[in-house]
Structure 1
Amino acid sequence: MKGFILSFRSEYYKSRKTLGFWCAILLPLLICSLILWGSYVHMRPAQPMILWLQFAGSILNVMGSLLLPMYIIFIAYSVNSLEHRADTWKTLFSLPISKWSVYSAKYFYSMFLVFICLLLFSVLTFGYGNLLGFLKPELKFNDYAISNLLFQVYLKLFLSSLGILSIQFLLSLLWSDFLKPMGVGFVCTIAGVIAAASHYKYAYLFPYSHPMLAITGISPKQGQAMQFDANLWNKEIFVSLIIAVVVFIAGYFIVEKRSVK
């Protein structure tokens, strides 16, 4: 456990001045701020539930369908790019820390950055929505409680992204250049969006479809007016978690075998 903590801390110090680290903070801030400005200019009074769905939906549609998978591709590569550029993989695995600690710390640090990014999205969506209601009192955002649904949706997005993260993390370990994992990830993301948008019945088996399925899986609660269910634990989430665990474990053995050559 000590080796894992040391490795995790090392990943933070190595990446804290990189674009990959700051994207986790700046991306939510930029997107939510732009949508706040657009909503302030163009949004008209309506039912509070409709206002929240318009505002939060604008952010979720931008983030969940295409941007989240591409962000994961970038984060997975950026965490490993320092070792690729400096050619320090053998040095890293020769340290008096277990290879499992080094490998898992890198993976969980990537997961941590994705979690921070989505957490900021959820906090800013909720905060900016209430700020919009304060700036334009005719938009009665405070009259509808959306916080529970909002945080469940972003948690669902996070869980749905773990399968993609495991695959892209492994690809970025195996390939030192950015174009190969980026190209594979981009093609798979487009295929996943098409599969989810066309309601292909087996789209839930393809991890790159999961973020979009996570958003479209929100449905009204039965028997409760103006309430929605995030459907947090559905089949695409379970598939995402299974893929994440299997690829994560398989990736360790692949990397360990390569590191001793």
Structure 2
Amino acid sequence: MKGFILSFRSEFYKSRKTAGFWGAILLPFFVSLMALLIFYFKSEKFITMPAMMLWVQFALVALGLMGTLLLPMYTIFVAYSVNNVEHKADTWKTLFSLPISRWSVYGAKFAYAVFLVLLCLTLFVLFTITFGNLLSVLKPELKFNTYHLEWELTQVYFKLFLSSLGILSIQFLMSLLWSDFIKPMGVGFILTIVGVTAASKGWEYSYAFPYAHPMVALTTMFKNKKGPAQDIVIDVFTKDVFVAVAVSAVVFVVGYFIVQRKSVK
């Protein structure tokens, strides 16, 4: 456990100045800021909306982008950037020669990639809530402060996080095997386009394709309710989420056995 903690801390120090790390902070900030500016300058279009729908429309600005391309592409980039540190500096030999088990090194790298994706999505929740409430001050006619969507937003982004794990594990393995930028990023981008297309066209088996999971997660997030809808009820654990977690676990184990046999000569 000590080796894992040391390795995880080392990943932070190595990546704290990289685009992968700062992307986790700046991406949610600027996307949420864009939503704020849209609602601020076009406030007359939203004045008549009930508070609940106002929050939904505001949150969908970011969710629409994240569920289609931003989340898959950021996940692909994070998986690449975490391993690229070692490829670029040619330090795999040094890393595996340390008196720390390969399990700790590999597990810490993957855990750090998961952490960056989780950090990014957590900040989306925080910035969405903060900027929404800020709008109720800047534009009092937009009554964001009369309704609370914190729990529902947390559930939605947690579902998106789980749905991204399949992509993350696959891309992490590819970036571990390939040192260049083009192969893992290119393959990931093509598979993302295929996944988004499959999900948008309503392919019945899109839940089984990891690169379609973020978009599928959004389309399956509302529970079916009979009668008038009084509140938003989020269905987090749908079959696409279970597939994403299962794929992540399987690929993670496969990746570990590959690392175990990786030469350091």
Which deviates more, 217-226 or 94-103?
217-226
Q: In the alignment, what sits opposite 2:116?
A: 113
1:220 CA displacement: 5.5
Distance in 1, matches of 2:228 and 2:147, equals 14
Per the alignment, do residues 247 and 143 of structure 1 end up closer, same or farther by CA in structure 2, a change over 3 Å counting? Answer: same
1:218 CA displacement: 2.5
TM-score by length of 2: 0.95
- CA deviations 1:186-225 (Å, max 9, x no partner) are 0010011011111110000000111011111122662463
Task: Choose which of 141, 164, 168 in structure 2 pairs with 1:138.
Answer: 141
* Contact 1:160/1:210 (<8 A) preserved: yes
Q: In the alignment, what sits opposite 1:238?
A: 242
Q: In the alignment, what sits opposite 1:171?
A: 174
Which deviates more, 125-134 or 234-243?
125-134
* Contact 1:218/1:228 (<8 A) preserved: no
* Contact 2:92/2:264 (<8 A) preserved: no
Which deviates more, 129-138 or 149-158?
129-138
TM-score by length of 1: 0.97
Q: In the alignment, what sits opposite 1:24?
A: 24
Amino acid aligned to 2:212: S
Distance in 1, matches of 2:16 and 2:241, equals 30
1:20 CA displacement: 1.1
Amino acid aligned to 1:240: A
Distance in 2, matches of 1:143 and 1:59, equals 21
Query: Displaced runs of 4+ in structure 1, greater than 6 A?
Result: none
* Contact 1:152/1:230 (<8 A) preserved: yes
1:80 CA displacement: 0.8
Whether 2:187 is the aligned partner of 1:184: answer yes
Structure 2 alignment gaps of length 5 or more? none
Among the aligned pairs, what percent are the same residue? 60
1:95 CA displacement: 0.7
Distance in 1, matches of 2:105 and 2:131, equals 38
1:94 CA displacement: 1.1
Structure 1 alignment gaps of length 5 or more? none
Whether 2:95 is the aligned partner of 1:88: answer no
- CA deviations 1:26-82 (Å, max 9, x no partner) are 111111111111111113211112211111011100112110000011111111111
Q: How many residues align?
A: 261
CA-atom RMSD in angstroms: 1.2
Amino acid aligned to 1:11: E
Whether 2:241 is the aligned partner of 1:250: answer no
Q: In the alignment, what sits opposite 1:35?
A: 35
* Contact 1:79/1:106 (<8 A) preserved: yes
SS in 2 for 1:7: helix
Amino acid aligned to 2:31: I
Distance in 2, matches of 1:236 and 1:146, equals 24
Task: Choose which of 128, 145, 149 in structure 1 pairs with 2:152.
Answer: 149
Q: In the alignment, what sits opposite 1:259?
A: 263
